[in-house]
Structure 1
Amino acid sequence: MAETNKESELREALVAHFREEGETLRRQWLRQLRTTGAVQNLIRQGLENESRALYTAFVDGLEPRNDSRTAACARSIAERALGAEISPELLIDSLLALRDVHRRSLVRKYGADAGRFTKALDIYSSAANRLLAHAVRDIFETKEAAATREVEQLRALVKTGMILSAKLSLEAVLQRIANMACKVVGARYAALGVLDGKGRLSQFIAAGIDEKTKRAIGPLPVGKGILGVLVHEAKPLRLKDLTIDPRAHGFPTNHPPMKSFLGVPIVSKGKVFGNLYLTEKRGAEEFSQDDEDIAMTLAAQAAIAIENASLYEELHRSYQELKRSQALLLRQEKLASLGRLAAGLAHELNNPLNHIAGFVEALQRRADAKTLPARKEFEDFPRFFGMIQTQVDRAASIIRRLLDFARQREPSFELLDLGRLISESVSFVERQAAVANKRIVVRPLSEPVQLRADAQMLQQLLLNLLTNALDAIEGDGEVRITANVVEVGPGARVRQETVELSVADNGCGIAPENLPKVFDPFFTTKEVGKGTGLGLPICQSIVEQHGGTIEIKSEGIGKGILVTVKLPVQR
């Protein structure tokens, strides 16, 4: 809504007042900040100049009638805060303190005129809050851009490492080494076995055997017999006749016949990565010392390739973990700052709202047929008071959600029965669904599942998801809850399980362009007055605190929503 001439004049008067009293108000502000780290950082940068620059930018941001000027002033504040190494939390605290100093000065200037003071405070609060929101957004956008640059630099280093180490995959490099071993040493067959972290054969690359023979041989060896000797004893082994050695057993029935044998360890820096095996020496009865020396050289090349591949995999894992950690840290920092801002706003709103609620309650007690005069203009008063009370209750509910968002706590873990938790959560909203001709269908778990989780948090998660699903359905419809236990990494020695909990509805769906924003605090696709945009961010925070993930899918408007939560299972 555009400002009236009187409002513009009052805004200009406020800005002029803050400029005239600038030095006095700035020093009051600094005295209020003495106990915070922000002042210490400003001192390092030059207290007088930096605080004066921040104060000037803040006051300048109150003056304009357009958002571009406000945004420019906010950007200046954010850049100076980052330059002074002031964290987002300290920046918010500092600007809130400056806002308090300004408000007290307005009390002194306009306190005698209640109407003018109220108007001045409204104009100031609106401008200051808009400027504060711009500044907080800008400082996070600047930090995110810096983090993105760091990730891109690391990605460039990873790509450089790949080019320097090899242009081929590890398997292709090892296959070439095995083929070369056959040719250079003069063996009919060669094989290269790679060990895993527990000393077991995890990869076996053969040379000299065609595909038809490989299929006839069947599964790869597991490191028994003569191969097992080399796995456990990292030293060269030469045999003239493999068939008479008592350790030579366990070869598959369809394996080609072998007699002479040479095996050498693949070692680098004292670490054993596997073994190189050669059989059936061409043109001689057995392998020589020279053959062994050549095989050792080829094994050393294989060790370098395996080590480089291991280092690359470790670097890649570290890189991915760094990306996840950076994203999580930035998000947690952003949520913490937004939470502090939300808590401040909630407390500011709570006091006047409590007064309104008290006055409405007092008026409702008096506004009955016995106390109101029997005049037509008074007959709607009880209904009006009831409508006011309804809106007050709604505002109080929004404030509670803001405080819930701001007061995120550490979970208190205990073993919970997932099936019981789902049943209890459904019972809370079942009646609400039935009244609106909506159904909740729960597919029972095939077996009891226990989670180590915070009961209150998980129930809040389920209730938020169920309420959102019911709200998304216009008219009659159905919400489906499904829970499945999925084994992660089947075949691994340690069994790891995850429960996949999905909540699906056939409601209004979400437009594709809105899907990336659904977990942003205060983002909502609901009509004005029907959503706070805090439910899904709270759900995401709960899931992450439990070591899980949450994902939302929708094919588009009118095609429903599927929310999938994955949490670790405790047997």
Structure 2
Amino acid sequence: MGLGPSAEPCRAHRVYSEGVTADPVVERDAVLHAVSSAVLAVTRHLSVREVLQVIVRSARALLDARYAALGVPDDDGSFAEFVAEGITDKQWDAIGPLPRQHGMLAAMLRDADPVRLPDIRQDPRFGWWPSAHPVLKDFIGVPIRDADQVLGIIFLSNKRAPGGFTQEDQDLLTLFAAHAAIALTNARLYERGRELTIVEERNRMARELHDAVTQKLFSLRLTAQAAASLVTSDPERAMSEIDRVQRLAGEALAELRAVIVELRPADLDRHGLAETLRKHVGLLDRLNPVTISFAADPLCDLPPATEVAVLRVAQEALHNALRHANASSIEVRLETTGSCLRLQVRDDGDGFGTEPPTSHGLGLLSMKDRAEAAGGSLLVSSCPGRGTTVLLEVPA
């Protein structure tokens, strides 16, 4: 993971490190302000992975440590996830696989009690670390608990101020961990809720597929059999049955496409809307002579159905631009403005007048239907010779 430079030490730790203790009220307020800021930073996120990263980043800033990490236990006495701050991508790659069951980390997995050490290397529980691992000295570890369950363990090392970690640091980190547990639990519940919503939607689509398309295919098979039996005895009636076969096949194909289009792409579950669209744009850019670019601001969380609608509108707009616009460049942008998510797909192609060409008709109708179903709006603006812009806005 990319690890930037350390955040500025929080106000509470400027008080500690400078030794200013003249006013206990000021010091208490500084500590509470630091914890409040760190907790707010965590609770703004709903993705579990984001929450883990922000917990680590906030804890590191809160105690002014050079290195920070957070391990999430699995069911086998090891770590299911391990997030770190303070090392570069190159160092992280050189360190190798996630820590498993050795040393102080393993001891904390077993005991799940706070640990504070002046030098971790002198503790008998210390085992070893890979050659590329940064050298750690003073160390503090605090569990993130939900009742008796350990959700994770925060590890900090190498405090920047002299003297190592204090009891006040441990109390502060324990207070922060208690609030972090709430944020992490909420994020997990939110993701589970989204997964259940997705499963329910897929089950609904499966029912529609069975109810609509299966019946059409059954009728299609019977009609084809009837036509085959009449070819020699009644050719005219056989042709009539064949015409019906063609009509049923067309209806079945249309219904099948409608159901498939509504299925949520798996990439949305794994990567989210912005990254899924970024990958789609990157693929189209490689496959086409047109230059296609993508930009996205940090996005808020959206209902699964809205994410699908935005992705499908983007795909349809890109398809129209590539097929009909004769453009040299296409720009795709996602941004949050106030209470709306905005998707913009803009090309520098031929454009059109007040009425779009008939070749765009079904695609534009589909995009408008999706926008309305998501509670949003779609605006298509174009001018001959000056390109086309598709603008979708949906509630965020």
TMscore range, shorter length:
0.3 to 0.5
Instruction: With the length of structure 1 as denominator, give the TM-score of the two structures.
Output: 0.31
Larger helix percent = 1
- Higher RCO by CA contacts (8 Å cutoff, separation 6 or greater): 2
Structure of higher CA gyration radius: 1
